[in-house]
Structure 1
Amino acid sequence: MNYLSTRGRTAPVGFSEAVLMGLATDGGLLLPETVPEASPETLRAWRRLSYTELALEILALFADDIPRRELDRLVRRSYATFDTPEITPVVPVGDFFVLELFHGPTLAFKDVALQFLGNLFEWLLGQRGERMNILGATSGDTGSAAIYGVRGKENIRIFILHPHGRVSPVQALQMTTVPEDNVFNIAIRGTFDDGQAIIKSIFEDLAFKERYRLGAVNSINWTRVAAQVVYYVYAALRLQEREGADRVHFAVPTGNFGDIFAGYLARRLAGAAIGTLVLATNENNILTRFVNEGRYVRGTVVPTISPSMDIQVASNFERYLYYLLDEDPERVTEAMARFAQSGELRVGFRAQARVREDFVSASVGEAETLETIRRVYEAHGYLLDPHSAVGVAAAAKCRGELPPGPLVCLATAHPAKFPDAVRRATGRDPQRPPALRGLEDRPTRCEVLPADEQVIRDFIARHAAV
């Protein structure tokens, strides 16, 4: 399978090359030339598979230049780090279901993709006899999941930017207490959007990217999206079997559009098994405004109790825009250029109608988030983190727009990662799982730097493996 850029000016590449390229050389994002569509017979056969078996089948559709036996080994190795054999269990809570995506080593949904991507990077580099310097920005969970995915791995160094003082204390400790010397944490004095803009600009400098052998671990890397497709299909097929449902709906808390874009692709792959996607945002609601009004307008980042969603420029939005604009790379390029210049992008009535066929959306404020955590805990004894609570609250707002069928709310992080929010909502501290115990007692390593691209470039140049 070939991979193409959303901007159409990068020659088609195979899966392995797409993994290592990260951002396309023309500044666009890579997508498969075609999205596979599973037949009804295939979907029925997939219902009998375990999570790792299903992951192999789905990833093999996209990674067709990796020997199946090797891909199987990489998948099994990646998910052996999770604390439940189901990997992403589906749990009933009242009149909805929770898809628990926090059973990996850093207790966040990013582990599902980044454990696999870290092992894949190591294998590909070993095959080629090459080195890589991974560069990424995080609004909270991506950083620790990426670090845990490649810590101590051969031929890899990783540089992660996070906004200083704007991630939860637990998230910061998870990143900065990793002792391996191939890990470099950079806290920038700015927002996640500042860090993301620096990363994208550096990747667009092809000479610098080539000289320092930079690789991407943010969701601009196609592998991140492909690996996340699996849990949508897994949950939908499980509930079809368990509930006798025709289709299953999903509520997804999102800021960078990567997780819900994986859901969009999963629906294209699995067809009618996956129903409506509820796009849930916090006060940083640029994506909700786009779904409901057809206007994608950059605003000022508002710090919230769900910091991983405090984003105003969603890096994966361009991938969806590519399909919305009829897979026309010239129209995508023009639209993104207008957005870069004016901070605003509008679509016509026909495109807006298509968006409303793909998503319904609602934004949720801080008071509603806290109330949702409290209400669900008191009614059902189930504790949500503040990001997952945004998804549950948005689903409640949109419930009347959904056809009949089970509703699954994605739980994107363990509540113990956000004890302050949980305490405010319930008056109690969440129980800490073993992975988080003793973090405060470990030594930390982190550089605090200005949100200045040249400063970040200089730091990478001094510490990169070349």
Structure 2
Amino acid sequence: MKYISTRGQGGEKGFKDVLLAGLAEDGGLYVPKELPQFSAEKISSLRSLPYNELAFEVIKPFVNGEIEDSILKGLIDDSYASFAHTAVAPMTQIGHNEWIMELFHGPTLAFKDFALQLLGRLLNHVLTERGERAIVLGATSGDTGSAAIEGCRHSDALDIFILHPYQRVSEVQRRQMTSVLDDNVNNIAIHGNFDDCQSMVKESFADQSFLPENTRLVAVNSINWARIMAQVVYYFHAALQVGAPDREVAFSVPTGNFGDIFAGYIAKGMGLPVGKLVVATNTNDILHRFFKDNDYRKQELKHTLSPSMDIMVSSNFERLLFDMQNRDGAALASLMDSFQQTGTLSVSDSAWDDIKVLFNSSRTDNESTCSAIKELFDRTGYLADPHTITGVRALAEVDIPEEMPKVVLSTAHPVKFGEAIEKAGLETPALPHHMADLMEREERYSVLENDLKKLHGFIQEHSKHS
């Protein structure tokens, strides 16, 4: 298993190098040169496995022996041992042939825990093995930050700096990050939006000359291939429970950065019978506009009741575009350069028609978010958060064969988004017992202007590498 950049430069890399690099040297994203193939017989053989053992079988080919199997299995076992539900990703039926897969039973109550609990352990293992230390630099629109901090806080080999848009994440989301007081954890609120934070992270990776000597940046955002790799597992987990490999399965996925749904695309490429992938967005709908009209155009970012999807430009979309350009790195690089200059892109009609066979999309505004939360609760007693509900609502918006099982990926616990729940006319649930005192915990974070030099100065000052 080798990895290549979407922009065609830099040659082939192994898993460990891709893990530590995050973003490729040419500004592209790493993808496998070829995907491992799982036959129907192989997929059937996985049906009875608990989640951690399934994860080992799905992840092992991507690591390709660079981490000894017994060590890799131990890291995976540790990653999911702290999840609050023994099924790790339990399924709840909400209608005829419709399920919600709950991905919020990890330590920070969001789907990001599935990847980041493992990523932190992988990074610590490889860095310790190499006798290195590193700085984690990431941006969050709400959930990535707390999951990354939880995954990295105990690592002796890492300092972590997480940027979030000032006053644009929910209070629960902010406090989950800022109440972690470990010496290696640094939370920074940036005056701006998520895209400003993400842009600063990308620029920092592109030019790391500001770093202390003998230090590297590592990425925990979904640009890091290991994030996608870990998320592929729960597509297999859900599909096996609703009839795979004997039945095709549709997935409806709330997404802003395209990482969570791209993992489903990878699962299909490995042989999982994924019949349809539905991109569920809020009014920041660049992905919906692409799949509806072949129009990927920057627009003004809007603040919504589903803030983790308040993203103007989807980082992982480049990985799909690479395949749509027939894996031609030079063509993809030219397309992305044009997008950088003009703020818009489209693909050939034939490429767009081909990808639409698998993908569909839906957009949900704030008003529809609240009404759909209430409707689902009244109908089933199930309380969905404002991101998950976009996936539920999308099932009614798009055409999926009635006989095809439909799975919505539930991305977060509703307690994290009390404003939306209350606007839906319902009561916000209580915090789970392990974080019942969250609102009383001491907070620590810094507020910075949207200024790259100031950010770099802060990192230099607060890094233990200095």
TM-score of the aligned structures, taking structure 2 as reference length: 0.97
| Aligned mates of 1:270, 1:88 — CA distance in 2 | 21
Q: Which runs of 4+ in 1 moved over 6 A?
A: none
Q: Distance in 1 between matches of 2:109 and 2:318?
A: 28
Q: What amino acid maps onto 1:231 in structure 2?
A: Y
Q: Where does residue 425 of structure 2 map in the other structure?
A: 426
* Cα-Cα RMSD: 1.3
Aligned partners of 2:2, 2:154: CA distance in 1, in Å? 31
> Secondary structure in 1 aligned to 2:242?
helix
Q: How many residues align?
A: 462
Give the helix-richer structure, 1 or 2.
1
> Is contact 1:203–1:209 with CA below 8 Å preserved after alignment?
no
User: Residue 220 of structure 2 corresponds to which residue in structure 1?
Assistant: 217
> Which range moved further: 420-429 or 44-53?
420-429
- Partner in structure 1 of residue 88 of structure 2: 87
Rounded Cα–Cα distance in structure 2 between residues aligned with 1:73 and 1:6? 31
Is 1:122 the counterpart of 2:124? The answer is yes
Which segment is superposed worse, 315-324 or 245-254? 245-254
Within 5 Å, give how 1:361-400 maps onto structure 2.
361-398=361-398, 400=399
Answer with 159-168 or 201-210: which moved more.
201-210
Pick from 160, 170, 182: which aligns with 1:158? Answer: 160
Distance 1:266 1:210, change over 3 A: farther
Q: Please name the residue that 2:333 is paired with.
A: 333
Extract unaligned runs of 5+ from structure 1: none
Q: 1:231 — aligned with what?
A: 234
1:455 maps to 454
Whole-Å separation in 1 of the counterparts to 2:131 and 2:422:
49
State the Cα distance separating 1:238 from its structure 2 match.
Answer: 1.2
SS at match of 2:104: coil
| Gap change, CA 1:45 and 1:116, over 3 Å in 2 | same
CA distance in 2 between counterparts of 1:312 and 1:435 reads 34
Structure 2 counterpart of 1:278? 278
The residue correspondences of 1:54-65 to structure 2 (distance < 5 A) are 54-64=54-64, 65=66
Q: What's the offset of the Cα at 1:395?
A: 1.6
User: C-alpha separation between the residues in 1 aligned to 2:366 and 2:170?
Assistant: 15
Q: Which amino acid aligns with 1:459?
A: F
User: Distance in 1 between the 2:419 and 2:426 partners?
Assistant: 10
Map of 2:74 onto structure 1: 73
Structure 2: which amino acid aligns with 1:232?
Y
Distance 1:210 1:52 in 2: 38
State the 1:354 CA deviation.
1.5
Are the equivalent residues in 1 in contact too, given 2:276–2:400 (CA < 8 A)? Answer: no
Looking at structure 2, the residues matched to 308 and 167 of structure 1 have their Cα atoms a distance apart, in angstroms, of 8
Q: Residue 324 of structure 1 corresponds to which residue in structure 2?
A: 324
AA aligned to 1:431 is A
The one-letter code sitting in structure 2 at the alignment partner of 1:411 is S
- Going from structure 1 to structure 2, the CA distance change for 1:427 and 1:50 (only over 3 Å counts) comes to closer
Give runs of aligned pairs for residues 404-423 of structure 1, distance below 5 A.
404-423=403-422
Same amino acid, percent of matched pairs: 46
CA shift, 1:440, in A, is 1.4
TM-fit CA distance, 1:427: 3.0
Where 1:300 maps in the other structure, the secondary structure is coil
How many Å separate the matches in 1 of 2:425 and 2:395? Answer: 21
- Structure 1 residue 43 displacement after superposition: 0.7
Structure 1 residue 426 displacement after superposition: 3.0
Match of 2:169 in 1: 167
Report the Cα distance in structure 2 between the residues aligned to 1:371 and 1:419, rounded to whole angstroms.
15
Residues 91-106 of structure 1: pairs in structure 2 closer than 5 A: 91-95=92-96, 96-106=98-108
Residues 373, 426 of structure 1: 8 Å contact kept? no
Counterpart of 1:301 in structure 2 is 301
Any idea what SS the aligned residue of 1:136 has?
strand
Q: Write the mapping of 1:19-30 to structure 2, written as runs, cut at 5 A.
A: 19-30=19-30
Q: Offset at 1:210?
A: 8.4
Give the alignment's TM-score, normalised by structure 1.
0.97
Deviation at 1:206, TM superposition (A): 4.5
Partner of 1:42 in structure 2?
A: 42
The 8 Å contact of residues 239 and 245 in structure 1, kept in 2 or not, is answered as no
Q: What is the aligned partner in structure 2 of residue 184 from structure 1?
A: 186
Distance 1:90 1:275 in 2: 19
Paired residue secondary structure (1:462): helix
CA contact (8 A) 2:43 2:272 kept: no
CA drift of 1:460 comes to: 1.1
1:33 and 2:33 matched: yes
C-alpha distance in 2, partners of 1:154/1:454?
27
